[in-house]
Amino acid sequence: MKKLVNLSKKMLLVGAALAFSTMAPVLASAETIKIGAVLAVTGGASFLGGPEARTIQMLADELNAKGGINGNKIELIIKDSGANPEKAISFTKQLIEEEKVFAIIGPSTSGETLKIKKICDQNKMILLSCAAAELIVNPVAKYVFKTPQKDSHAAAKIFGTMNEMGISTIAVLNGNTGFGKAGKMQLKKSASKFGITIAAAETYDKKSTDLSAVVAKLKANKDIQAVVNWSIVPAQGILAKNMRQAGWDVPLFQSHGFGNIKFVEAGGAASEGIIFPAGRLLSPDVLSDDNPQKRVLLQYIADYESKFNEPVSTFGGHAYDAFKILCRAIGEVGPDKEKVRDAIENMQNFVGTGGVFNFSRTDHNGLDIDAFAMWTVKDGKFVLYK
């Protein structure tokens, strides 16, 4: 009888073990999801990468404190490229081959992103770039997305405003960066559609500290009614100073790379009146209460500024959008890379800092021209142009 009891106990234990093993896949423990980032935290483009790195670290910390994504914690691995394309390439390969990250956020600049676009696509690595050049997503690469608004839309907003002002003949300046070159291409491509003539075009070194010679050359052409500058470097403020010092008071338009108040501070009084396109993060108070972006923008501003004691910028906003888009996709389909890629490509009505994103198979940016508003500088602050 005793043997029968012991045998029964053993059978119960075996049965329990089998039941547990059958349930194990359903009750699998949560995993850590590695997310890489290649950002220009230091160096000449730190005004881009610094806010981006701080933003995604803040978001990751907040998310992990709440338990992660469906129980999966996020491990951020941030690499500081210093805006150096060669470092970006090296760090990208390291994140893919050694760290085996799930996805990569960044880089901060267009030049870096264009250098790693093919690497990520060939390695089936999801890339959510924080850089603006339209070439990042046109032509479309299966695994590559970007969150900043399109160059072509920025050019269209600038030219539309010029039409309203009666401006038809302009000069174009650009920094010798990937962003600057791509922007110049879009301006030349779009000008004729708006009846705009580009009378002169000049490219300057991104490290320039004096553009007075270029200004003097352009000022000599009396047909020029306005200047468009396309760059993401401190020379934006230097150009404004040099123009005003030369007594040249034609309107100065900047690209969407001007959306950082530090550029205004660099230009000082000469920044007054600069006109440029940007998203609505610069001043969400102008939005109506029923605008879907308003709550998102105000919350991000409150969280970031209270934590880091500095103003938000549109650049940090690009990283915010990249991180949130990735996390939403993971939350919807789980930590399966191919399913997440598909979820991003089909994501609709994602409300971010840069606008309302609607991705598709042919559009890996997801924003339309309404993501932009036109801004100007007044009393050292950003205000809506109209």
Number of domains composing the chain: 2
Q: What is the mean pLDDT of residues 40-48?
A: 93
Report the alpha-carbon angle 81-207-255, nearest 5: 85
Please give the C-alpha separations between residue 297 and each of 13, 230, 304, 354, 376, in angstroms, as whole numbers: 56, 26, 11, 9, 19
Dihedral sign, Cα of residue 193, residue 194, residue 196, residue 201: negative
pLDDT, one tens digit per residue, over 191-213 is 999 999 999 999 999 889 999 99
- 137 and 74, same structural domain? yes
- 299 and 257, same structural domain? no
- 219 and 144, same structural domain? no
Q: What is the mean pLDDT of residues 167-173?
A: 98
Output the pLDDT for position 29: 52
pLDDT(73) > 50: yes
CATH of the domain at 187: 3.40.50.2300
- 302 and 234, same structural domain? no
Separation of alpha carbons 259 and 247, rounded Å: 25
Strand partners, 230: 174
Nearest to 34 by CA among 80, 94, 90: 94
Output the pLDDT for position 28: 43
Read off the pTM.
0.87
pLDDT(7) > 60: no
How many residues make up the chain in this entry?
Answer: 386
pLDDT, one tens digit per residue, over 108-134 is 999 999 999 999 999 999 999 999 999
The residues, any chain, with a CB within 8 Å of residue 40's CB and separated by 6 or more, are: 46, 48, 49, 50, 80, 81, 82, 83, 107, 108, 109, 112
Nearest to 61 by CA among 39, 49, 78, 41: 78
72 in Cβ contact with 329 (< 8 Å): no
Coil vs helix vs strand at 201: strand
- 116 and 89, same structural domain? yes
Residue 348 lies in a domain: yes
At 353, phi and psi to the nearest 5? Answer: -75, -25
